[in-house]
Amino acid sequence: MAGIFIICLNGDREHLQFAAMAASVAAVTGIDVQVFLSMNAFPHFIKGHSKEAPASGVVGKKMEEHKVPEFFTIFEQAVELGDAKIWACSMAMDVMAVTEEDLEPIVAGAMGLTKFFSDAEGAQILTF
């Protein structure tokens, strides 16, 4: 399967922001985009969890000051306008003791790493 496969691991604002930007711009340009959420990036996609990721550096802090759209909103646009698919790491779900019903609606469902890598064979993989 061609396209861009994005792995989100870091839960800070800068990483999530750029991952969302890459996902949305690629998706609305007609590129098949698949996003895999794990580690500290994952909890932001659980219902009720804060969508305000902490800044880790000066650019992240400036983004807060300038009220740059939040990463979650940009991921929503990637799904709604570009048909991107966002998947939750099944391991992270187990660790956090959540089910698919606990995930935000923009998350398509649970995904294992093996299946994700299998789908990504021959495609670009970006890790944030």
Partner 1 sequence: MAERTVDARGSFCPGPLMELISNMKSMQVGDTLELLSTDAGSAKDVPEWVHKVGHEMVDTNQDSEGTFHIKVRKAK
Q: Looking at 9, 11, 25, 123, which residue binds partner 1 (CB under 8 A)? A: 25
Quick check: 68 binds partner 1 (CB under 8 A)? yes
What is the smallest separation between the CB atom of 82 and partner 1, expressed in angstroms? 8
**In contact, 59 and 16? CB cutoff 8 Å:** no
Stretch that binds partner 1, among 3-11, 51-59, 67-75, 99-107 (CB under 8 A): 67-75
Q: Looking at 50, 52, 57, 69, which residue binds partner 1 (CB under 8 A)? A: 69
Distance, CA of 114 to CA of 93 (rounded, Å): 16
Phi, psi of 34 (to 5 degrees): -125, 135
Distance, CA of 66 to CA of 80 (rounded, Å): 25
- From 32, 37, 56, 54, select the one nearest 95 (Cα to Cα): 37
Q: Which is nearer to partner 1, 8 or 110 (CB)?
A: 8
Q: Looking at 28, 39, 125, 126, which residue binds partner 1 (CB under 8 A)? A: 28
Quick check: 74 binds partner 1 (CB under 8 A)? yes
Residue 86 CB neighbour total at 10 angstroms:
24
- From 76, 81, 62, select the one nearest 108 (Cα to Cα): 76
Quick check: 114 binds partner 1 (CB under 8 A)? no
Residues forming contacts to partner 1 in the complex (CB under 8 A) are 21, 24-25, 28-30, 63, 66, 68-69, 74, 77, 81
